[in-house]
Structure 1
Amino acid sequence: MRTVELGRTGEQVSHLALGAMLMGTSTGEAESFEILDRYTTAGGNFVDTANCYAWWPRPGDTGGESESLLGRWFARTGKRDEIFLATKGSGWVGNAEEVRAGKADLWSSFEGAGGDTLRRALDDSLRRLGTDHVDLYYVHVDDLSTPLEETLSALASIVAAGKARYIGWSNVRTWRLERIRQLALANGWPVPVAVQQQHSYLRADPYSDRDFSIVSAEQLDYVRRHDDLSLVAYSPMLKGLYDVPAKRAAEYGRGSYGGPENDARLAAVDKLAAELGATPGQVVLAWLLAQTAPCLIPLIGPRLLSHYEAAIPALDLELTPEHLEFLDNA
């Protein structure tokens, strides 16, 4: 598995990151451990989780299950020092049952990025993970109601205390990224080294109500011009949209990714996959891995071992310049 530098930190992380969102809930412990074992045996070292993973799969799930499972895996394998570990705060939902039942709004239920909130959240994460630090700590959902000065000052204290080595942001607008950067530089606080956003081969509707979470052309340009900031692309497979025909017509996919341009892009992926003897999802993942402007890190979150096994061949799928041009021009 190839590695890339995270921002300009000097840290070499796997070009393919592994998301543990559903580990400990939808993905049982034995299967989660098998995925983690296979990923690390293949040379993978970039593992991603969050304190709120995952409160939604089953009644009684509250969040923290993924971090707790990773803590047990670290204890079993002794591999904590081999892993570049990322977790997140600000997205914890304390009223999960009410949100699940539709009695409370999700977006107003997030714990937010207040200073005390983040410090407490990370301490709780470290306890579940069984470690004294994480390598990368994200603000999971950008919090417009808390002054950025408060959030950045708290993150600076977290880094100074050695509880996180680097910081990042997720689900954030481009103008906010620039404001974060300027405030951090002006005050001598750590500058984010990673932005984690949803990004795939299909192009999202720029007027979608999820535009703050999905990479836009403007945001790609911003990351391209700031090479100290890596783009970590979550949901690159759009929950199986490319490989499962029924999902192409589902609200999740068509709600943000409909329209004639994406019909053409899906047709191009299908055509190239047939020519290469690959799946459409593998072609998309190979396309993402081939991007250089900016270089980005796809983050897969397999629910099943079979999903992981279906994705890994993309690492060996070499797309020629002609293949890339065909996909880019669809």
Structure 2
Amino acid sequence: MQTIELGRTGQQVSRLALGAMQMGNATDEADSVRILDRYLEVGGSFIDTADCYEWWARPGSRGGESEELLGRWMRDGGRRDRVFLATKASAVPAYSPDLWAADGTANWDLARRTFAGAGARTLRDALDGSLRRLGTDHVDLYYIHVDDRATPLEETLETLAGMVEAGKVRYLGWSNVRTWRLERIRGLCERNGWPLPVAVQQQHTYLRPKAGVDTASIVDPEQLDYLRANDDQTLVAYSPILKGVYDSADKRGSHWMMADYAGPDTDARIAAVTEVAAEAGVTPNQLVLAWLLHQTAPRVVPLAGPRTPQQFEDALPALDVKLSDDQLTRLDEAGA
């Protein structure tokens, strides 16, 4: 697997990151270990988790299952030094029995109103908890998971800087964040000598959100422009294939993620993906991963989050796809 520099740090990470969100819940321990071992086998190193994964999977959970599983896996095989390890804080909701309905489904409206946030004490406690579950004395990349606009940025950034100075964190990242906030973060870091976040983790795929979509989580044209102009921050793209909608017309017609994308522009881009995928001899899902891997302005690290070992195997052919200039142009120009 090829590598890419994270920001302008000199740190190389694998070109395809592995998301461990479902590990320890939807993906059981045995299958999780198979995926993780296979990822190392093909040259992967960049593994992503969070302290909140997956509180919503079962009533009463406080999250941490993914970190605990990764801690066991790294310890059992002495694998910590082979992994560039990322985790996140700020998105564990305050405990309430009302976080789950009677049928066990999560109450996301309540969760979003009670996220832990990025205050100094909250972050210090969250990091110590993550280090304990992961069984390590440091994480390589530490994200603010959900941008917290109720806490002064100065408080958050100074706290994060202290974590870096203490050696508990090597690099910083931010997720689910608007572009103006990234610019404000940049200014504060420059003025105060604090370390700048070098990774921006956002939802990003080949499809473009439809007009009127207003969310801090999905990359928009302004954010792409910002990241092109500031290549000291690398875009880490979560949900790069939108739960696999590119391979399935039925899924595109029914999956909740399509609510932000459905429309004529998406129809045209699906047609372009289908056509180029046939030419390249891969599936549309694989083609979209390959297209992301070809992006240079800004550079993109797709974050694959397979639920099963087969889903992980299905993603691997994307690493070997070479798209011509003509194919890239046709993909880029498709749609409105």
Give your verdict on TM over 0.5: yes
Preserved CA contact (<8 Å) 2:93 2:112: no
What CA distance in whole angstroms lies between the structure 2 residues aligned with 1:110 and 1:206?
Answer: 28
Q: Cα distance 1:279–1:97, how it changes in 2: closer, same or farther (>3 A)?
A: farther
Q: CA deviation at 1:273?
A: 1.7
Q: CA deviation at 1:244?
A: 2.6
**Corresponding position of 1:234:** 238
What CA distance in whole angstroms lies between the structure 1 residues aligned with 2:210 and 2:128?
Answer: 38
**Corresponding position of 1:84:** 84
5+ residue gaps, structure 2: 102-106
The answer to whether residue 203 in structure 2 is matched with residue 195 in structure 1 is: no
What CA distance in whole angstroms lies between the structure 1 residues aligned with 2:212 and 2:122?
Answer: 32
Preserved CA contact (<8 Å) 2:94 2:111: no
What is the root-mean-square deviation of aligned Cα atoms in Å? 1.3
Which digits, 9 at most, give the CA deviation of each residue in 1:113-162, with x for residues without a partner? 00110010000000000000000000000001000000001101111111
SS class of match (1:106): helix
Question: What is the aligned counterpart of 1:105 among 101, 105, 110?
Answer: 110
Over 6 Å off, 4+ runs: none
Q: Cα distance 1:32–1:103, how it changes in 2: closer, same or farther (>3 A)?
A: closer
**Corresponding position of 1:260:** 264
Q: Cα distance 1:3–1:278, how it changes in 2: closer, same or farther (>3 A)?
A: same
What CA distance in whole angstroms lies between the structure 2 residues aligned with 1:294 and 1:241?
Answer: 24
The answer to whether residue 162 in structure 2 is matched with residue 157 in structure 1 is: yes
What CA distance in whole angstroms lies between the structure 1 residues aligned with 2:96 and 2:144?
Answer: 20
Q: CA deviation at 1:94?
A: 3.1
Q: CA deviation at 1:98?
A: 2.0
Q: CA deviation at 1:240?
A: 1.2
Which digits, 9 at most, give the CA deviation of each residue in 1:283-313, with x for residues without a partner? 0000000011111100010011111011011
What CA distance in whole angstroms lies between the structure 1 residues aligned with 2:47 and 2:243?
Answer: 19
Q: CA deviation at 1:181?
A: 0.7
SS class of match (1:165): strand
Letter in 1 for 2:81: D
What CA distance in whole angstroms lies between the structure 2 residues aligned with 1:229 and 1:166?
Answer: 11
Letter in 1 for 2:308: L
What CA distance in whole angstroms lies between the structure 1 residues aligned with 2:162 and 2:288?
Answer: 39
What CA distance in whole angstroms lies between the structure 2 residues aligned with 1:103 and 1:43?
Answer: 36
Q: CA deviation at 1:55?
A: 1.0
What CA distance in whole angstroms lies between the structure 2 residues aligned with 1:250 and 1:154?
Answer: 43
* Paired positions, count: 329
Question: What is the aligned counterpart of 2:254 among 250, 254, 260?
Answer: 250
Letter in 2 for 1:9: T
What CA distance in whole angstroms lies between the structure 2 residues aligned with 1:142 and 1:187?
Answer: 20
Which digits, 9 at most, give the CA deviation of each residue in 1:255-291, with x for residues without a partner? 1011101100001111222222211000000000001
**Corresponding position of 2:141:** 136
Q: Percent identity?
A: 61
Letter in 1 for 2:91: G
The answer to whether residue 313 in structure 2 is matched with residue 293 in structure 1 is: no
What CA distance in whole angstroms lies between the structure 2 residues aligned with 1:149 and 1:168?
Answer: 15
**Corresponding position of 1:270:** 274
The answer to whether residue 313 in structure 2 is matched with residue 315 in structure 1 is: no
Preserved CA contact (<8 Å) 1:25 1:61: no
Q: Cα distance 1:27–1:96, how it changes in 2: closer, same or farther (>3 A)?
A: farther
Question: What is the aligned counterpart of 2:187 among 172, 182, 185?
Answer: 182
